[in-house]
Amino acid sequence: MYRDKEVGQLLNALTNASCDQRCKAAAAIYGIMRVDPATGVPPAIAHACGIGGIIPPLVRLMNDGTLHGRVYAAGVLMLILVDEDRKPLITFTCRRACAKAGAIPPLIRMLNDSVNHPGKTFAASALRMLAYDETLRDAIASEGRGILPLIRLLTDGTADDKMHAAGALAVIILSDDNNHRRKQSCANAGIIVPLVKMLSDEKSDEAGKSYAAFALMQLAAVDAILRHRIAIEADGVPPLVRLAREGTCRQKTQAAGALMMLAQHETLRQSIAEGGGIPPLVQMLVDVDGDGRLQAMGALNMLIVDEANGRKQICAQAGGIGHLLQLLTDGTDGEKSQATVSLLAFGEDAGLRKILAAKAHPSSITTLVQLLGSSGPECHVRKACAAGALMRLLNEQVHVRTCMEGGGIALLVQLLLDSGATKRGQSFAAGALECMLERGDAIVHSRVTSAGAVAPLVELLIGGQSDNGQKYALRALLKLITGGDENAEERERTCQKMTAAGCIPVLLQMMGDADLRAKLRVNAGAALMSLLIQSDARQTTFVEEGGIQLLVQVLRDPYMILAGKMNAAGALTILSCGIRSLRSLIIDAGAIPPLVQVLKDSYPMPDAATTALAALIALLTGGDAEAKQACAKAGGVPELVRLLREGVNELQKAYTASVLSLLADATGLVECIVEAGAIPLLIALLREASSGCARMRVFDALTGLLDTGDTYTDGKTWQACAEAGALSLMTEFLSSTAPQDEKTHAVFVIMMMAHAETLQRLVAAESGTVAALVQLLKEGTCDGKASSAATLKLLVADSVSRKKTCEEAGAIPPLVKLLDDSVDTTCRAKVEAAGALKYLISESRERKQASVEAGAIPLLVQLLKYGTTEEGRTYAAGALLILAEDAENRHAIEDAGGIPLLTESLNVLEGALDSEGTFETVDGALYGLAFDGALKVPIAMFRAEYMFIRRNDLLQSPRADGKKHMKSSCN
């Protein structure tokens, strides 16, 4: 062991002795400094190193000494500049002293020696330590031209040479300027290939591989060109992946950093994934900590940044989601921030979102809520990522509740209001609120509203800073203004706030903006629909802002998707059912033809057709003949018939039937509808429909088509109904337990068919039809009874056999009962009952007697009273005429007050040119009564003037034309 005196002599010789002695002194000092650290360095050398006094003579020796002396001088300098792993003697001051003494040029010259010697290793190590001083890196790289010899050492040197050279180069290119001059110089000098080879070289030690990976990470950060040269030309991905999987913690850290830089390019991301890079990075989340874990998380974030090629799925299968969720709860602040980025990326995949929700723990939600309230540097970035991760995790009610109870709603609203927040963060905050509203209950809706979310959401929507921001804000507002009745008042307040903030013009603009994403335009239409419901004020604002024209424009837009057109049609429906005057404005704006076109284009989206049908129903209900003709001109009839045949559900077909029933009012359209084949389809729908509402819509269509007033057209419709099996179906309705209103419509269809003489036989012959009609006379609605009586009237008018059938079915008593004022019936029912009785009781004494026994005479007389329709008086008088054929009935007619009422009716009808038939019938009834001698005087007394002026021989010779009212039994 050297004594202090001997050490002093060596230091003195290093400075003042001859060249040979200086070389020997350097060798001795090197030997002393290489001793076991436990022995310790002599104080004299430590002092000399500390004050830097030993450095100038060492530099001098490297310049003018022998090879042996230069090597040891470099070795001493290396030990003086040793890194922290070797317990440094000096720090920053010593590096500056080396530079000041001119150590860099001779160190670099030593690297260029043609002979291999340990000095190259010492020089490379010394240059590495000097490069830790940022101010010296340019001197090493440029002035001293140190890059090329270091790179040559990477290729030709020993394992130690390569390790120190890689370390020196890795440090030299640290903290480069914005132009990356040193990195570009190294790359141009050919550094990449030898660095990549070091990663795979079995002779390279651990530190060397770490330095190589670190250097590659720095180079990959420059630009895409260098990343391509590393990954593609030098095939750097496989060794980096292998180092991340098998290396030491330090090597894994540097490899992960290099992979993170390479993963900035999509092609290289796929190369890393295909090279098996994802699983070892996921494993690093568990195996390493600190910078290594952060580098691995950063690399994973780059790799799963998009949806391509299943990289997210690979990461998830490797256990990435579980590890990230754990780090979100237990990691450092930096790790939590990185985890939120990863979780945000995973949440963009619908399948992985479910896995996230299944694996997420309430503590994960709690951590994200805490991150929303974080402060300090880059807090806005953390908040944005936390909001984004929340948006992806809040797909379970338990998570929504955890977020709400942790104060998440208020923090999200605060993020929306924060002027310093990033646009992305505000978009995610709106998205998170939308998710809570989607999956939460009424309490969540109330909390979001009470937290003041409406105003900033509207501001985000109006501001239009980003498509995503508008999208999430719009969807959140949509959730607030739609839903069940439990929050009706709150929704109305939200609608008012949105309107006051100027939402309607903005939504109109968004809906009409062809450059905007289609889904955003669709949601704008949905929001407008919700705002228009039950608010005349908002509808007025909408119209004043040109909303009707815009909706029609959207319907006509060939580039608008069907969902957008469906919302436009829905808005038109709301407007048509609201302020009455708007219907004509919508029709005048030309809405009918594009609505028909929506029907034609609706194959991919059946709901669009249903909504367009609802709009047509609302617009055509007003009875505008031009609108109905416009619908037909646009090809509406064949399209409606197609929907009847091919409609996807009962509701759509029922709406189609309603439109057809409205079109049936227009001139000439019934024949078009019938010829298009609508009748069989309507009958089939009526048979299959499960809901009463659908059946009623079909009945409305059938009744509209069957009763146009045009005998020729109606005849075709009646025949089409018969051929489609309508008669048996209507009979089934009458005989079933169907609601009375359906039976009323069914009997109306039968009644209209019975107008055709060719079909009357079919109606009467159909099993159970007559009995069902009679039953309806007893139990049906007023209209049902009237239609049933009218049908029976048509059946028995000219057929003895059908009269017998009706008699056997027991038709007479209920018909008589319909004549009674005390029964809840209508004037039409009485008239039709009187007509049916008139025809039914003719030609049969038994039927006449049955009607008398049922109380027909006083009720028929009552029907003659003033106020009864002319048709009713005609039928009543005709029935009385037939009853008067039997002598026993004449006094009953007189006792019921028939003579004065008949006479009064005659006086009223006299001179009425259009009442000749009724006049003759009443006259005939009086004539029939006069056959009873006891009644002649009363008749004469009530009708003396008429009898002697118009017909002088009333009592002796009745009018010849009056005889036609009497049957053979009166002769």
Residue 62 has pLDDT above 70, yes or no: yes
Query: How large is the average pLDDT for residues 643-655?
Result: 92
Q: Among 261-265, 527-531, 744-748, 820-824, which stretch is predicted with the lowest mean pLDDT?
A: 820-824
pLDDT for residue 826: 66
| Confidence tier at 549 by pLDDT (50, 70, 90) | very high
pLDDT for residue 638: 95
pLDDT digits (tens, 9 = 90+) for 440-471: 888 888 899 889 999 899 988 887 666 788 88
pLDDT for residue 33: 80
Q: Among 43-52, 490-499, 701-710, which stretch is predicted with the lowest mean pLDDT?
A: 43-52
Helical H segments across 347-378, by residue range = 350-359, 362-372
| Confidence tier at 944 by pLDDT (50, 70, 90) | very low
User: How large a percentage of the chain has pLDDT more than 90?
Assistant: 30
| Confidence tier at 949 by pLDDT (50, 70, 90) | very low
- Position with higher pLDDT, 918 vs 244: 244
pLDDT for residue 289: 86
pLDDT digits (tens, 9 = 90+) for 846-899: 998 999 999 998 988 888 775 467 788 788 888 887 888 787 887 788 787 777
Residue 602 has pLDDT above 90, yes or no: no
Residue 935 has pLDDT above 60, yes or no: no
What single-letter amino acid sits at 121?
A: T
Contact between 513 and 527 under an 8 Å Cβ cutoff? The reply is no
- Position with higher pLDDT, 355 vs 408: 408
User: How large a percentage of the chain has pLDDT more than 70?
Assistant: 86
Residue 35 has pLDDT above 70, yes or no: no
- The first and second tokens of residue 578, run together, are 């609201």
Query: How large is the average pLDDT for residues 371-396?
Result: 85
Question: What is the C-alpha separation between 222 and 299, in angstroms, rounded?
Answer: 16
Closest CA to 190 of 171, 215, 163: 215
pLDDT for residue 12: 85
CA distances from residue 273 to 217, 279, 541, 832, 963 in whole angstroms, order as listed? 18, 9, 56, 87, 109
CA distances from residue 901 to 21, 606, 674, 793, 941 in whole angstroms, order as listed? 161, 63, 47, 24, 13
pLDDT digits (tens, 9 = 90+) for 306-343: 665 688 888 988 998 889 889 888 888 888 888 888 88
Would the CA dihedral through 162, 166, 169, 171 be positive or negative? negative
- Position with higher pLDDT, 246 vs 869: 246
Query: Of the spans 344-348, 534-538, 638-642, which averages the highest pLDDT?
Result: 638-642
Q: What angle do CA 778, 834, 936 make, to 5 degrees?
A: 135
pLDDT for residue 48: 65
pLDDT for residue 177: 64
Q: Among 389-398, 574-583, 861-870, which stretch is predicted with the lowest mean pLDDT?
A: 861-870
Question: What is the C-alpha separation between 384 and 424, in angstroms, rounded?
Answer: 6
Question: What is the C-alpha separation between 120 and 107, in angstroms, rounded?
Answer: 8
pLDDT for residue 223: 86
pLDDT for residue 484: 57
Query: How large is the average pLDDT for residues 23-46?
Result: 72
pLDDT for residue 181: 81
pLDDT digits (tens, 9 = 90+) for 612-631: 999 999 999 876 789 999 99
Residue 958 has pLDDT above 60, yes or no: no
Residue 953 has pLDDT above 80, yes or no: no
pLDDT for residue 43: 66
Residue 225 has pLDDT above 80, yes or no: yes
pLDDT digits (tens, 9 = 90+) for 585-601: 999 999 999 999 999 99
Contact between 497 and 545 under an 8 Å Cβ cutoff? The reply is no
Question: CA 464 from chain center: how many Å?
Answer: 20
Residue 900 has pLDDT above 70, yes or no: yes
| Confidence tier at 968 by pLDDT (50, 70, 90) | very low
pLDDT for residue 85: 45
Question: What is the C-alpha separation between 789 and 819, in angstroms, rounded?
Answer: 11
Residue 122 has pLDDT above 60, yes or no: yes
Contact between 106 and 61 under an 8 Å Cβ cutoff? The reply is no
pLDDT for residue 713: 66
Query: How large is the average pLDDT for residues 40-64?
Result: 75
Residue with tokens 């030690």: 205
- Position with higher pLDDT, 432 vs 904: 432
Residue 134 has pLDDT above 90, yes or no: no
Query: How large is the average pLDDT for residues 645-661?
Result: 93
Question: What is the C-alpha separation between 515 and 242, in angstroms, rounded?
Answer: 48
pLDDT digits (tens, 9 = 90+) for 143-189: 547 888 988 888 888 888 889 889 888 888 887 666 688 888 888 88
Strand segments, DSSP code E, in 407-545 are: none
pTM: 0.66
What single-letter amino acid sits at 888?
A: E
Query: How large is the average pLDDT for residues 898-918?
Result: 56
Question: What is the C-alpha separation between 339 and 320, in angstroms, rounded?
Answer: 10
pLDDT for residue 483: 64
Contact between 785 and 753 under an 8 Å Cβ cutoff? The reply is no
**319 φ, ψ to 5°?**
95, 15
pLDDT for residue 913: 37
pLDDT for residue 360: 82
| Confidence tier at 822 by pLDDT (50, 70, 90) | low
| Confidence tier at 411 by pLDDT (50, 70, 90) | very high
Residue with tokens 């007697």: 849
Residue 263 has pLDDT above 70, yes or no: yes
Mean pLDDT of the chain: 83
Query: How large is the average pLDDT for residues 289-309?
Result: 84
Residue with tokens 């309230």: 373
Query: How large is the average pLDDT for residues 470-494?
Result: 82
Closest CA to 391 of 359, 414, 375, 369: 369
